[in-house]
């Protein structure tokens, strides 16, 4: 069976601005990574390790599931088949 990659999205940029317009560099310094790492995370080019994801959530004072989440496109409604079964009897 083929492995499907999850579409993980984040609100890092949103929460940076809610923190008094924190710069990418200030956030990077707070969690111990390069500014380019924050750029890549915000642009969904890089998924952080679980450790870094928790550090970012803690830096914002938010639960991790508010900062990182699975972006699920709406699934098409599944239709029931229009087949009538013959009554048995």
pTM recorded for the entire structure: 0.74
Instruction: Tell me what pLDDT residue 73 has.
Output: 65
Cα–Cα distance, 16 to 45 (Å, whole number)? 18
Helix (H, G, I), strand (E, B) or coil at 7: coil
Q: Give, for 20, the enclosing helix (H) or strand (E).
A: none
User: Which tens digit of pLDDT belongs to each residue from 36-89?
Assistant: 999 999 999 999 999 999 999 999 999 999 999 998 765 555 555 566 667 665
- Residue ranges of domains in the chain: 8-70
Q: Give, for 81, the enclosing helix (H) or strand (E).
A: none
Cα–Cα distance, 67 to 53 (Å, whole number)? 8
Instruction: Tell me what pLDDT residue 78 has.
Output: 59
Q: What is the DSSP letter of 67?
A: H
Architecture of the domain made up of 8-70: Orthogonal Bundle (1.10)
Instruction: Tell me what pLDDT residue 62 has.
Output: 97
């Amino acid at each position: 069976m083929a492995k499907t990659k999850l579409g993980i999205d984040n609100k890092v940029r949103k929460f940076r601005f809610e923190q008094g317009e924190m710069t990418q560099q200030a956030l990077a310094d707070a969690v111990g990574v390069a500014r380019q790492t924050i750029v890549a995370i915000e642009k969904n080019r890089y998924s952080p390790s679980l450790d870094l994801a928790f550090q970012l959530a803690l830096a914002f004072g938010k639960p991790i599931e508010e900062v990182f989440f699975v972006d699920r496109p709406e699934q098409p409604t599944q239709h029931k088949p229009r087949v009538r079964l013959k009554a048995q009897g």
